[in-house]
Amino acid sequence: MSKGFRRIRGVHDGLPDMVRRWRRIEEAARDVFSRYAFAEVRLPVLEPTALFVRSIGEATDIVSKEMYHFVDQGGDDICLRPEGTAGAVRAWLQAGLSRAGATRWFYMGPMFRRERPQKGRLRQFQQIGVEWFGVAGPVEDAEMLAMAHAFLHRLGLDGLRLEINSLGCPACRPAYRERLVAWLSERADALCDTCRERIQSNPMRVLDCKVEACQAALADAPEMIAHLCGDCAAHFAGLKEALGALEVAYVVNPRIVRGLDYYSRTAFEIVTDRLGAQGTVLAGGRYDGLVAELGGPATPAVGFAAGLERLAMLLPEEPAECPDVGVVALGDAALPHALRAARALREGGCSVLWCGGGSARRQFKVADREGVRFVAVIGEDEAAAGRLAWKDMHSGEQRTLTVDEAIKACRAALRSTARGIASRP
């Protein structure tokens, strides 16, 4: 295959070792989010390009250089979604749900951004996202954060830091923005090229530049949280109070700005020190203006998205589950009974590996390699008697059993080791 096709840069293959970890994360998300009464949605990967230009903002990295978009054969400008929130708002409006009151959704799936590929930064990656439409209060922001916290705790990821900030609102941000632009303009020489370009187009994003020289120059930059209006200040205080009540630890980081334009008030990131520069595993905030921006009724909302691949990098390897039973069929005459026995064992809840026929030696080797707990041998005698020779690979014990007895034996053994059937839903 050395001369064959290669993967596109920045995308990856989810092979079984990795998919087991992804599934563990997805199952934790489904379980925790449903306890918070959120419902799963599955939304399109393809959306109109204009949806993202309108929602995320033209001056953002995503829209200005990272979107995978194309004009299709019918002349429509279509985009592989770079994030989930805009599509969720579109779907919610299109389904007429804005009339039905608050809505709680979550989703998981691939997102696409043409970023510079590096560890923890892919061009096709997966997000688990959550959106809560129609709620305005700081208590709901805290509930969201408690839910994110519970999800990460379920995964055994406790050494993470929650950072929160407030980005203000249309009442207080413009004045702050002006002050910031003036402050940055005076120090433009000390900033990197990207930051200099952003002073006018997206000044708040300058605060979050990763270049060290910029960070040094920005040490005393004016911060949004010192310039909040009364309502935004009260909201931020309410958030901190509710987090305190829930005993969710946090630090205020006035430099969190988020890459997207549509955020207002609460913004947050959950960060690890274990992934270098790509340490944000979950991020989100309030986006009170977005629904109206996309043509809907004014609707406050809050949400977050977690990067599945980054979370997976923090988890230990997930061991493969071995099949419960290997079926060894000896001779053509035994074949029909062996096939039916394998199916019956599966219907009884066992996972069954067909060992592939051939010599007993070869089939036992397969069973051994796959780590099966039991081997069911079916030769002509067993087929004639409607039974199977049942070998416990742990104890070496052998018995002749009916298929029903074998199912019972399998269930009992796996229950006692708390894996296999007993832990399957």
Residues that bind ligand ATP (CB under 6 A): 83, 113, 115, 120-122, 125, 127, 259, 278, 280-283, 305-307, 309-310
State which residue, 217 or 308, has the beta carbon closest to ligand ATP: 308
C-beta of 415: minimal distance to ligand ATP in Å?
38
- Three-class secondary structure of residue 54 per DSSP: helix
User: Least CB distance from residue 420 to ligand ATP, whole Å?
Assistant: 33
CB atoms within 10 A of CB 130: 27
CA distances for 60 relative to 65, 79, 164, 196, 204, angstroms: 8, 16, 21, 14, 11
Q: Which residue minimizes CB distance to ligand ATP?
A: 307
Whole-number Å distance between alpha carbons of 132 and 134: 7
The edge-to-edge listing of strands for the beta sheet with 251-252 is 39-40, 103-112, 124-133, 301-307, 280-286, 266-271, 161-166, 251-252
Beta carbon of residue 212, minimum distance to ligand ATP (angstroms, whole number): 17
Bridge partners (DSSP) listed for residue 130 = 106, 304
Based on CB atoms, which residue is closest to ligand ATP, 120 or 349?
120
Q: C-beta of 83: minimal distance to ligand ATP in Å?
A: 5
Look at phi and psi of residue 33 and say left if phi exceeds 0, alpha if psi is from -120 to 50, else beta.
alpha
CB of 271 to ligand ATP, least distance (A): 9
- If phi > 0 it is left, if psi is from -120 to 50 it is alpha, else beta; for residue 258 that is left
C-beta separation of 81 from 52 below 8 A: yes
Q: Which is nearer to ligand ATP, 279 or 357 (CB)?
A: 279
R_g of the chain, CA atoms, integer Å:
28
Q: Which amino acid is at 259?
A: G
Distance CA 67, CA 61 (A): 9
State which residue, 306 or 383, has the beta carbon closest to ligand ATP.
306
Q: Assess contact for 63 and 56: CB atoms under 8 A.
A: yes
To ligand ATP, the closest distance from the beta carbon of 275 in angstroms equals 9
Q: Closest Cα to residue 120, out of 310, 315, 311, 270?
A: 310
Of the pair 173, 258, the CB lying nearest ligand ATP is at: 258
Q: How far apart are CA 173 and CA 264, in angstroms?
A: 9
Closest to ligand ATP by CB, 128 vs 325, is: 128
Do 131 and 93 meet the contact criterion of CB atoms below 8 Å apart? no
* CB 145, min distance to ligand ATP, A: 14
145 or 375: CB nearest ligand ATP: 145
Least Cα distance to 306 among 92, 120, 45 occurs for 120
| Residue with Cβ nearer ligand ATP (56 or 329) | 56
Closest to ligand ATP by CB, 14 vs 238, is: 14
* Closest to ligand ATP by CB, 195 or 352: 195
Task: Provide the minimum distance between the beta carbon of 262 and ligand ATP in the complex, in angstroms, as a whole number.
Answer: 11
| Residue 10 C-beta: closest distance to ligand ATP, Å | 8
- Give yes or no for a contact between 265 and 285, defined as CB atoms under 8 angstroms apart: yes
Task: Assess contact for 252 and 226: CB atoms under 8 A.
Answer: no
| Backbone dihedral angles phi then psi of residue 165, each to the nearest 5 degrees | -155, 170
Least separation, in Å, of the C-beta of 282 and ligand ATP? 6
